[in-house]
Structure 1
Amino acid sequence: MAVATLSVGTLLVTVDARTWWQAVVLSAGVIAAFVASVRWTENGIPRVVGPCLLVAAAVWLMGSLALSVSTAFFALSIVGPLYSPKLPRHRVPAAVGLILFVAAVGAIRLLIAPQDVADVLLLYVLLPAGVTSVVTFSLFAGQAFYDLIAELDDAREREAELAVVQERMRFASDLHDIQGHTLHVVKLKITLAERLLTTDVERAEAELREVRALVAETISQTRDLAYAQRHLNLSVELENAKNLFEAAGIHVRVDQEGEIDERANELLGQVLRETTTNILRHAQATYVRITLSTAGITVLNDGAGHTPLSGLSGLSTLRARVADNGGELTVAKRDGRFLTQAQFPHERTDL
Structure 2
Amino acid sequence: MVTARSPRYTESTQGRLRRLNLAVSLPPLVLAAAVLLVIDTHAWWHVIILAPGLAAGLVAFERWTANDLARAVLPGLIVTGAVWPLGVLLTGSPNAYWGFCAVGSLAMREVRRHRGLAVAGLFSYVAVVGAARLLVERDDVREVLATYVLIPTALTVLVTVMTIVGERFYDLIRELEQTREREAELAVVRERVRFASDLHDIQGHTLHVVKLKIALAQKLLLRDAGRAEKELRETYALVSDTIAQTKELAYAQRRLNLSAEIENAKNLFEAAGIRVRLTREAEVDTRAGELLGQVLRETTTNILRHSQATQVQITLSEAGITIVNDGVAGNSPPELRGLSALRQRVSGDGGELTVEQHEGRFRTAATFPSAGAGATAAGLGHDR
Percent of residue pairs identical: 50
Distance 1:31 1:234, change over 3 A: farther
Partner of 1:223: 247
5 Å-filtered alignment, 1:63-78, equals 63-78=87-102
Deviates more, 1:7-16 or 1:158-167: 158-167
RMSD: 2.4
User: Structure 2: how far apart are the matches of 1:234 and 1:140?
Assistant: 55
Q: What is the one-letter code of the residue matched to 2:126?
A: V
Aligned residue pair count: 237
User: Structure 2: how far apart are the matches of 1:15 and 1:234?
Assistant: 79
Distance 1:235 1:58, change over 3 A: farther
Q: What is the one-letter code of the residue matched to 1:82?
A: L
Would you say the 8 A contact 1:193–1:208 is kept in 2?
A: yes
Deviation at 1:202, TM superposition (A): 3.6
Partner of 1:60: 84
Q: What is the one-letter code of the residue matched to 2:60?
A: A
Is 1:208 the counterpart of 2:244? The answer is: no
Would you say the 8 A contact 2:60–2:69 is kept in 1?
A: no
Deviation at 1:144, TM superposition (A): 0.8
User: Structure 1: how far apart are the matches of 2:189 and 2:132?
Assistant: 63
Tell me which of 193, 218, 231 is aligned to 2:217.
193
Is 1:15 the counterpart of 2:39? The answer is: yes
What runs of 5+ residues in structure 2 fail to find an aligned partner?
1-24, 257-284, 290-384
Give the 3-state SS of the residue equivalent to 1:172 in structure 2.
helix
User: Structure 1: how far apart are the matches of 2:138 and 2:212?
Assistant: 104
Partner of 2:64: 40
Would you say the 8 A contact 1:43–1:86 is kept in 2?
A: no
Deviation at 1:235, TM superposition (A): 4.4
**TM-score w.r.t. length of structure 1:** 0.61
User: Structure 2: how far apart are the matches of 1:18 and 1:75?
Assistant: 19
Deviation at 1:191, TM superposition (A): 2.9
Q: What is the one-letter code of the residue matched to 1:27?
A: A
Distance 1:23 1:43, change over 3 A: closer
Q: What is the one-letter code of the residue matched to 1:14?
A: V
Partner of 2:201: 177
Deviation at 1:115, TM superposition (A): 4.6
Deviation at 1:45, TM superposition (A): 2.1
Which protein shows a greater Rg?
A: 2
Partner of 2:175: 151
Tell me which of 163, 166, 184 is aligned to 1:160.
184
What runs of 5+ residues in structure 1 fail to find an aligned partner?
238-351
Deviation at 1:153, TM superposition (A): 1.4
Q: What is the one-letter code of the residue matched to 1:216?
A: S
Deviation at 1:206, TM superposition (A): 2.7
User: Structure 2: how far apart are the matches of 1:235 and 1:202?
Assistant: 42
Would you say the 8 A contact 1:190–1:207 is kept in 2?
A: yes
Would you say the 8 A contact 2:108–2:115 is kept in 1?
A: yes
User: Structure 2: how far apart are the matches of 1:4 and 1:126?
Assistant: 24
User: Structure 2: how far apart are the matches of 1:139 and 1:181?
Assistant: 62
